[in-house]
Copies of this chain bind each other. A is one copy, B any other.
Amino acid sequence: MLKNFIKQLRITEEELQEELQKYSNITVHTKGDFIIKNDEYIKVLKIVLRGKVRVYQDNEDREILIYYLNDMETCTLSLSACFEDCKSTVNAIVEEDCAILNIPVRFVKDWNFKYKSWNTFTTNTFRESYNHLINQYSNLAFQPLKDRLFDYLVSKASNFIVKKSHQQLARELGTTREVVSRLLKTIEKENKVKLGLKEIIILDKN
């Protein structure tokens, strides 16, 4: 699995490959495990090799999704923490059993100037995350919840189907279950989705 990662990232330097072998380790986790907890120090860079992790912020009784980590994705916030010792401001919880590559923070920073491919990797991670977050931000600012919900469904659908409960959707969008139920009903009346139990079928992507 580490080899996949090395390949996917185009880590060509043999020396870096060896360092990765030597200093990183792979851990496995099952659904519901917390990978990162709010207000705890971040000591390793977490890269999801396989599985799915939800990274979110919470606020009293509500939450908002920051991002999902899927196969071969890196937690940008823990990457950021590698460059300055700091506490996490988010939680990360395993949604699908996963294998995680853990790289102690002290290496991540050094490698950044030592290995070109690592430099490219960290820069791209930051860049993509930043652009993604700006989009999220302006959607949150401008789009009514109904549109954000529908767009979210479309983005998360595989084969036009989203297998999530209203509660989950509410969490990820930073709202409440009742509101999601209500909005889904109105979207259904517009013939854009069909609602089932823990399953939503997208009928019309516009």
Contact = CB atoms under 8 A, between A and B. Distances in A.
A27 interface: no
A139 to B, nearest CB: 10
Contacts of A90: 134
A122 B66 CA distance: 23
A203 to B, nearest CB: 27
Contact of A133 (B62, B123, B130): B130
Interface string A130-170: 11011111101110000000000000000000000000000
A131 to B, nearest CB: 7
Chain A: interface residue count, which band? 20 to 34
Contact of A59 (B113, B130, B142): B142
Interface of A: 57, 59, 62, 64, 66, 76-77, 80, 83-84, 89-90, 112-113, 116, 119, 122-124, 126-127, 129-131, 133-138, 140-142, 174
A64 B138 contact: yes
A123 B124 contact: no
Given A116-B113, A119-B119, A174-B142, A126 B130 contact: yes
Contacts of A131: 80, 89
Contacts of A59: 138, 141-142
Scoring A76, A84, A113, A124 by chain B CB atoms within 10 A of each residue's CB, the highest score goes to A113
